[in-house]
Every structure is written in C-alpha cells, then in structure tokens.
Amino acid sequence: VMGLAYAFTPRLIVLGGAGHLDVIAALAWLPWLMWAVEGVHWRWIGVFAALCFLGDVRTAVFVFALAGAYALWRWYQQKRSRMILLRYSAGATLALSLTAVQWLPLIFTLPLLSRVGLTADEAGIFSLQPIDWTGLIVATKAASHETLLYVGIGALALAIVGLVSDWRKRWFWGVIVLAAGWYAMGLNGVLWPLLVRIAPPLLWLRVPPRAWVIGIFALIVLSGYGVQT
C-alpha cells in the first residue's frame, strides 16, 4: 500500500507533467534510501544517497534531512550503538565519494551562480498561505506543481489512523509532517525565515513548498501503519 501510494501520489504525477523529471529521478530513490537507513545497510545508503543527489541536488537536501533525522532516531532507539553510528558514517562517506563529480565542480563555480544573490523575498516564491492547506482534503486546479498538497483522501485518513493508534511509536513521522508543512509556509511562517538566517545557503533552494514532498512521504508511511492497524 505504501509503495503504490508513493508511486501514484499526485505531486509526483504533476511534477512529471511540469517537466521536472530531475526531481522525480531524485525522489525515486527516497524509499530505497530509507529502507537502507532502517536496515543500517551502509553500502546501499551510500549508493542510494548518491543516486538521489545526482538526480537533483535541491531535492536531495530535503531527502538527506529526512534520512539523517531518521538515522539519528534509529541510532537512539538502538541505545546509541557505536557500531551503528560507524556504519551510518561509512554510508555517508561512500555517498560523498560517489558524488564528488557533482559537488566538487559546484563548489568552484558557486561564486558565479545567480542564486548566490537571491534575497529572502525572491527565494520564498510560492510560499504557502494558510488557506492553501485545504488542498490536503480537496485537490484544486488552482494548485500548481509547486503548491499541490493533496496526497489522497484515503491515504490521509489512513495516516491519521496510523498515527493516533500508536502515537508513542510513530510520533517521529507526525513531527516530519508538521516540520515539512511549517517549512513549506516559507515567508508566511516562522521556521523558514529563521532557518535561512541561520543557514543562508538554504535560499539557493528557492520555493519552500518543495519540502512538502517529505511531508507526503511521512503521511504515506503513516497510512501504511493505518492499514496495518
């Protein structure tokens, strides 16, 4: 159920229609990367993270934020095992090695990029308005490929069931949904302006609602738990 919901989520379909195949190429590896993090398969962590990064650098930032947070959560659950931490570190090192062909030239060309001069108002384009969150329940034609929130009413209902049925074990995914949604508010929220002040390179990513793909993924995971319940 989770796999089908992710493969046919409206956001991915609309991205394809808008021509953002690079974003889809990156997001295709998100479930596999999370599987590798779950099983602490350090070689696959490196491979899948590299494939995601080489697909689309901007999307990879959000994917890595989710994978990193999940890795820390899993590490904490495993009583802060030193071996698990070493395996995660090995996976990250492998990913860095496999993607050097991309990030090394990027470092040297960074001063020449137009994105370096972006202001918060320019980077915060398409920031979500509070009224836009009705799009979680009703898919509207007014939503663009950047602001589409709809994940499917069935998936949303199952996600709620999955969360409330055992929130003590699944609170992590609820936090991811809230964090992604808060970030997607961009200029109309508090989180995004604060983060870009702390880490100005986040301005280069532009369009805060792009982070909602992480929220969609978390909702789909919760919907799987809902089916299980």
pLDDT in tens, 130-179: 999 999 998 877 678 899 999 999 999 999 999 999 999 999 999 999 99
Q: What distance lies between CA 36 and its chain's CA centroid?
A: 16
Residues 6+ apart with CB under 8 A from 69: 172, 176
Query: How long, in residues, is the chain?
Result: 229
User: In angstroms, what CA-CA distances link 124 with 83, 120, 211?
Assistant: 41, 6, 12
* Cα distance from N-terminal residue to C-terminal residue, the chain: 13
Q: Give the predicted TM-score (pTM) of the model.
A: 0.94
Residue 60 has pLDDT above 90, yes or no: yes
| pLDDT value of position 110 | 86
Region 38-52: what's the mean pLDDT?
97
DSSP 82-141: HHHHHHHHHHHHHHHHHTHHHHHHHHHHGGG-GGGG--HHHHTTTPPPGGGGGGGTS--T
Q: Both tokens of residue 37?
A: 């993090």
| pLDDT value of position 212 | 97
Q: pLDDT above 90 covers what percent of the chain?
A: 90
Closest CA to 160 of 221, 73, 69: 221
Instruction: Tell me which amino acid residue 152 is.
Output: G
Structural element, H or E, at residue 34? helix 30-39
| pLDDT value of position 116 | 85
3-state helix, strand, coil in the chain (%, to 5): 80, 0, 20
pLDDT in tens, 11-21: 999 999 999 99
Binned at pLDDT 50, 70 and 90, residue 115 comes out as: confident
